[in-house]
Amino acid sequence: MEQVNNSQESHLYTPYLLFPSRTRKYVRLTVQHAYESIKNLLGEVSGSKIELSQEEPLTAKARLDGEFGATVTIQVFPEGDVSALEIAFSYRRAVYIAVAVGLITILSGLLVFQSEFIFLGLVFIAPIVYKANYSAVRFLDLVIKTLPFIEKEFAYKALMADRERWEAQPKDTEALYKRLSEKHIKTWGNSKVLEYKVAEYQKLGLTRAEAIRMTAEEEGVS
């Protein structure tokens, strides 16, 4: 089986990926928000009841695409400033069904038609195995394509909440920047890191004043 890492994520939905077993995905969401998002995604593709556990780590488990789909178990836990999704697939049910169907078909063929139908069981096994693999690959593709949009929506809502708070509690951003600059010069000898952080926040859609306030809050400068 094949383990997937972040460098492969853009190429997951491909027929060359066979029976993915385990992968970890990092998202810029709170643990609870990531957990709720995963439950919603499972609700769209699950062919069975979703088993949920609120004990740490938060866990969701479901069978994908009906009787012959893979079973996926997802654990969500904090990892620094982000949340980690540990996604594991099991094909045990599909394998058991495929073997049972194959044996019954082969034995029936041997008893009734002798050796001419000995390979008939393989004809029934192949679609079951394909279905299990396809359900896992398709779910990974859904996760990888959907989570960035969820992250953007979450970041936008967080920014709106910050803006409301900043407007309700105005501060002199130039004075904040001066104190930040003094701190960075004392620590690093220059303010290049500060300028980089402010510029990165501006790329995310913040104004310069908002970027300064965000940086100041992160660094504990008031």
Whether the predicted model's global pTM rises above the 0.75 cut: no
* Domain map (residue ranges) of the chain: 2-91+133-158, 95-124, 171-219
Angle, to 10 degrees, between the axis of helix 208-219 and the axis of helix 192-203?
120
Q: Collect all residues with Cβ–Cβ distance below 8 Å to 183 and sequence separation of at least 6.
A: 219, 221
Task: Please check the confidence at residue 5 and state whether its pLDDT lies above 50.
Answer: no
Q: Collect all residues with Cβ–Cβ distance below 8 Å to 162 and sequence separation of at least 6.
A: 210, 213, 214
Task: Work out the mean pLDDT of the chain and round it to a whole number.
Answer: 83
pLDDT at 81: 83
* Alpha-carbon span 181 to 222, nearest angstrom: 13
pLDDT at 69: 82
> Between 3.40.640.10, 3.40.190.10, 3.40.50.2300, 3.30.310.80, what CATH number should domain 2-91+133-158 receive?
3.30.310.80
pLDDT at 66: 74
In single-letter form, the type of residue at position 152 comes to K
pLDDT at 6: 42
Query: Given pLDDT bands bounded at 50, 70 and 90, which one contains residue 95?
Result: confident
Please say whether the dihedral angle defined by the alpha carbons of residues 33, 36, 41 and 44, taken in this order, is positive or negative. negative
Residue 83 has φ and ψ, to the nearest 5°, of -115, 145
